[in-house]
Structure 1
Amino acid sequence: MLKKIGAHIAIPAMITAWGTVCCLTGLVQNYHGLVAARLILGLCEAGLFPGTVLYLSMFYRRHELQTRISLFFSAASLAGAFSGLLAAAIVKLDGKGGQEGWRWIFYLEGLFTALYGIAMFFVFPRSPAHSRFLTPEQKAHITRRLKLDSPAGVDDFEEKFSWAECKKAATSPHVILLFIALFGNGLTLYAFGYFTPTIVQTFGYSPIRTQLLTVPPFVLAFLLTMFNAWWSDRYGRRGLCAILMSVLALVGYIMFFKSMAMAVRYTALFLAVSAVYSTAPALVTWLPNNSAGHYRKATAVALGFISTNSGGIASTWLFPANEGPEYRRASIVLISMTVLIIVASTLNLLYLRRENRKKAERRAAGQSSLDAASWAAEGDKHAHFIYSY
């Protein structure tokens, strides 16, 4: 859709649509209306994150991508932090205009989102070559830099759609392993996005103080996510970044599982939330980093987000009220999913290192050509395409 319609239309349209739906959700009068509104909201919002990841890969080189994706993704961390503050403030509008406080949350947050989406129609460029805020020299410079990741000078924007390319992405071992890892990451990520207030509420504080206590873990998540992005881009270590952050999350889950002390559990939230949010950009960046050309990359990114969102759906049953405050079953599931991420990421790292060794042998033996046709046909399987691990 980004290539057919153009990112300059598709992304702002999605933002405007879901902001409008969010705003109108404040008008629902029953459970069925709420379910319908949430379904439509999901349809409007689903393409934004994968579309943005693919869009950013059109502007930045492979070793620069995680910092940019993390900056975009960290908006989720900051939203997690400040949504608590914002909700605590907006809910005080309860009774204004004859509307409950929770309705005001939907009205105001949806309105600001829709207005932002409309503004983006006038800002978003279709591609570097179509950017209105870049000089011709800057556009040419970006194009030259992007082609450095493709020694044959293949232009992804010129690629024609092919189902065969989609199949190659779906059957690539590194995509399959990340599909597995991203399911686990999606489950843990959405679990904290949805249920951090529920967990903090078991500490026995008032609703407003509960909302305020959810803020610090997400602030730390933002800082750690950006540090890891800088480190990962600098040293090109996507897998190690994901593994180390998952180990940190594992420590947090075990602390939460083993102790009922409020201080220990709150500390565990800091570790788990910040580590989970730091893991996601590394895994997501790994997909476009190791996929070429355009449709193979687009398919890999789409599959990754299908898996992430599937994990998110599963997470909605993780913290039922009748299992609190221990939430032992939830802790066991989170621990299991994090171990799954570590195993899948480790296997992917080892697989990519092995493939790079094979490619080095092919290059040494002169078994590869740098012509455009060869590069376009082989994509990321080309001997001169070095996998990031």
Structure 2
Amino acid sequence: MGYDISDKAVTSASDGATSPTPTADAAQNDAYLAKLSKWWTDDEETTVRRKLDLRIVTTSFLLYFSALLDRSNIGNAKTAGMEKSLRMSDAQFQWLLTIFYIAYIVFQFQVLMYKLVPPRIWMTFCVAVWGISGICQAATTNWEGMMVARFFLGVSEAGFGTGWAMYLSFFYPRTEIGLRFGVFVSAGAVSAAVAGSIAYGLARAHTDVASWRLLFLVEGVPTLLMAPAAYFALPNSIQTASFLSEREKAIAEARLFRPPPPEADPTAIPGQSATSRLTRAKQRINWSEAASAFTDPMSYITAALFFIINVGYSSVPVYVPTLVSEMGFGSIRAQGLSAPPYVLAFIISLSLCWLTDRYQIRGPICTLLLVVGAIGYIMLATLRSTAARYVGIWLIVNGLFPFIPILYMWLMDNQASESKKGLGLVIFATIGQCGPLLGTHLFPAKEAPYYVKGTAVSAGLLLFGVLVSAGLSWRFWSINRSRDRRVALAEGDIGRRESKADEEKGVDSAGLSETDRRKIDVLLRGEDSPYFRYTI
């Protein structure tokens, strides 16, 4: 069972593309593929993973932490007196929220830049632009200036955030991406907690600078400092990761179960003769594979779930300080009381991402989190007790925040091609990020203090999301079960035919397990492979 390891095959395999092609060099290819069975030690793999985590995961956490500080501090600034200082109406404030998401939606195509531009250069550029935009908010003297700053903040963050899920797939197998992306997204929960604490401290400070301006400044400067850190810390690919030795690069590539570079000796240990040609092949976009995302229902169903969650999610960091202050705690105490729920959300996010990675079950967890968020919004819509409403806020925060990374990974797990993942993420984020356009307009000041319309609409959408999520999980389970039955029926005949073919070619394939053969088939054929199993 041999495969064409040509430059075309490398590109296809990297993108999870077409069926395997037999060649005259099948024996050599099989000898190479046999070495894809684990030829490294567990200690070596742990070392490689630790080095990647130190550079990539740590840096990603800090970058997204600063991004969410700059994005969501508008709610704390409002509570600290920005509206009055700039003489803004409630409608104008809501437009500040809307313009960010308009820019964020329109510029989602920048996700593809991760495949067209060296990733660390692209990310450094995005971080620098949003850092400058965040600081400019502190210098604005009118609503128009704030609108411009918020627009460029949305443009630059659109080029960074969504594509990070695909960037992680350049370095980690899918069973490890969920936790890493969970760390990335959970930085939003930490930043919301820190933002509330910073706002609480600045509100009590006595300075000549307005506390809301100081808030934008204090939270914007660290972002600019992260731009050079992103450039020097993040690698473009495994082969350009200077912090890995040649053997460690080979191990990192083999963990992803990729074919060898075209120039490599197929019988050598993977990666010892690798060149940047493989890296360039992986970076190219396979447009036919990418286009298949348009016909994949998964792109739209997960996008609909993302839309639903964003209606509630987008309003949480912006309106929680307002909701808490209107419970009778006052603006200063509200800044402090809005922080604790996010600490628990951070812990829950990491725990659930680890569990869903380990057991590869994401849909049922998504359904459960939607139920928790819906209960929280129902409590806000129907109850008037301050204590009960504050508990509702805890349920909302801890239901919605952990949902985001798990949903991202659910989409990524079920689209095998890198190019398809790229365009799938564009569809996912473009539709999903329309949710904030609705969410940020559900809480007009005239409906204070209970915001019945906003909380009721959010609860209803989350309950609808429960049905969608559960239905999608059942669909994937049904497909997997059907494939299991077909493979079980054909297994005996397939085994006899492959054994006979290998005997005729004189190939001893004992070094390549059936598990590895199935992985190779999935690598080359993607979701069309009978061995591909959807993550439920």
Q: Does 1:135 align with 2:245?
A: yes
Instruction: State whether residues 253 and 272 of structure 1, in contact with CA within 8 Å, keep that contact through their aligned partners in structure 2.
Output: yes
Of stretches 260-269 and 45-54 in structure 1, the one that deviates more from structure 2 is 45-54
CA shift digits 1:332-376 (9 cap, x unpaired): 111112112212211211221222234334534379996999757
The match for 1:121 among 223, 231, 234 is 231
User: Partners of 2:193 and 2:519 in 1: how far apart?
Assistant: 47
CA shift digits 1:286-342 (9 cap, x unpaired): 111111211101111222222332112221101111112121111211111211221
Q: How far 1:32 moved relative to its partner? A: 1.2
Q: How far 1:169 moved relative to its partner? A: 1.0
What is the match of residue 42 of structure 2? none
Q: Does 1:388 align with 2:511?
A: no
Specify every segment of 5 or more residues in structure 2 that has no aligned partner in the other structure, as ranges: 1-112, 260-269, 271-277, 499-516
Instruction: State whether residues 375 and 459 of structure 2, in contact with CA within 8 Å, keep that contact through their aligned partners in structure 1.
Output: no
Aligned 1:97-246 pairs, distance under 5 A? 99-147=209-257, 158-159=281-282, 160-246=284-370
For residue 454 of structure 2, give the secondary structure of its aligned residue in structure 1.
helix
User: Partners of 2:474 and 2:325 in 1: how far apart?
Assistant: 42
Instruction: State whether residues 157 and 294 of structure 1, in contact with CA within 8 Å, keep that contact through their aligned partners in structure 2.
Output: no
The aligned amino acid for 2:126 is M
User: Partners of 1:238 and 1:296 in 2: how far apart?
Assistant: 20
Evaluate the alpha carbon distance shift between residue 161 and residue 373 of structure 1 in structure 2; reply closer, same or farther with a 3 A threshold.
farther
The aligned amino acid for 1:264 is A
The aligned amino acid for 2:535 is S
User: Partners of 2:252 and 2:523 in 1: how far apart?
Assistant: 21
For residue 114 of structure 1, give the secondary structure of its aligned residue in structure 2.
helix
Equivalenced residues, count: 384
Instruction: State whether residues 239 and 279 of structure 2, in contact with CA within 8 Å, keep that contact through their aligned partners in structure 1.
Output: no
Q: Does 1:253 align with 2:377?
A: yes
For residue 398 of structure 2, give the secondary structure of its aligned residue in structure 1.
helix
User: Partners of 1:114 and 1:141 in 2: how far apart?
Assistant: 34
Evaluate the alpha carbon distance shift between residue 94 and residue 21 of structure 1 in structure 2; reply closer, same or farther with a 3 A threshold.
farther
For residue 130 of structure 1, give the secondary structure of its aligned residue in structure 2.
coil
User: Partners of 2:429 and 2:441 in 1: how far apart?
Assistant: 20
TM-score, length-normalised on structure 2? 0.67
Q: How far 1:377 moved relative to its partner? A: 6.8
The aligned amino acid for 1:41 is L
TM-score, length-normalised on structure 1? 0.91
What is the match of residue 63 of structure 1? 175
Instruction: State whether residues 77 and 277 of structure 1, in contact with CA within 8 Å, keep that contact through their aligned partners in structure 2.
Output: yes
The structure whose Rg is larger is 2
The aligned amino acid for 2:407 is L
User: Partners of 2:327 and 2:407 in 1: how far apart?
Assistant: 33
Q: How far 1:95 moved relative to its partner? A: 4.4
User: Partners of 1:94 and 1:110 in 2: how far apart?
Assistant: 20
Q: How far 1:214 moved relative to its partner? A: 0.2
Instruction: State whether residues 185 and 311 of structure 1, in contact with CA within 8 Å, keep that contact through their aligned partners in structure 2.
Output: yes
Q: Does 1:29 align with 2:141?
A: yes
User: Partners of 1:372 and 1:73 in 2: how far apart?
Assistant: 29
For residue 139 of structure 2, give the secondary structure of its aligned residue in structure 1.
coil
The aligned amino acid for 2:281 is E
User: Partners of 1:157 and 1:343 in 2: how far apart?
Assistant: 42
User: Partners of 2:203 and 2:152 in 1: how far apart?
Assistant: 24
The aligned amino acid for 1:9 is I
The match for 1:45 among 157, 162, 166 is 157
User: Partners of 2:280 and 2:452 in 1: how far apart?
Assistant: 50
The aligned amino acid for 1:386 is R
For residue 26 of structure 1, give the secondary structure of its aligned residue in structure 2.
helix
Instruction: State whether residues 156 and 294 of structure 1, in contact with CA within 8 Å, keep that contact through their aligned partners in structure 2.
Output: no
The aligned amino acid for 1:357 is R
Q: Does 1:305 align with 2:429?
A: yes
What is the match of residue 84 of structure 1? 196
Instruction: State whether residues 84 and 214 of structure 1, in contact with CA within 8 Å, keep that contact through their aligned partners in structure 2.
Output: yes
| Cα RMSD after superposing both structures | 2.5
For residue 110 of structure 1, give the secondary structure of its aligned residue in structure 2.
helix
Of stretches 24-33 and 350-359 in structure 1, the one that deviates more from structure 2 is 350-359
User: Partners of 1:249 and 1:288 in 2: how far apart?
Assistant: 23
Q: Does 1:347 align with 2:471?
A: yes
Of stretches 126-135 and 217-226 in structure 1, the one that deviates more from structure 2 is 126-135
User: Partners of 2:416 and 2:217 in 1: how far apart?
Assistant: 42
User: Partners of 2:518 and 2:121 in 1: how far apart?
Assistant: 34
User: Partners of 1:250 and 1:118 in 2: how far apart?
Assistant: 41
